[in-house]
Structure 1
Amino acid sequence: MKKIRFWLIASAVAGAMFNINVASANEFSAIKKVSESKELETLRDSYRACVVKKASLYLKVNDIDSTIAHAPLACKRELLSIRQFLLSGAFKVEVVDQLMESVREGIEIDLVNHVYTEALKQKGIKP
Structure 2
Amino acid sequence: MKPVFLSLFAGLILLYFVNAALKISVFSWEMLIHSAIRFMVGFIVLGIGYFYGHKLNLKIAIGIVLILLIVDDIMDYARDVTRLSAELLLYNLYMLLWGSLTGYLFMRSYKGKVTDL
Greater C-alpha radius of gyration: 1
TM-score (norm 1): 0.47
Q: Structure with the greater relative contact order (CA < 8 A, sep ≥ 6): 1 or 2? A: 2
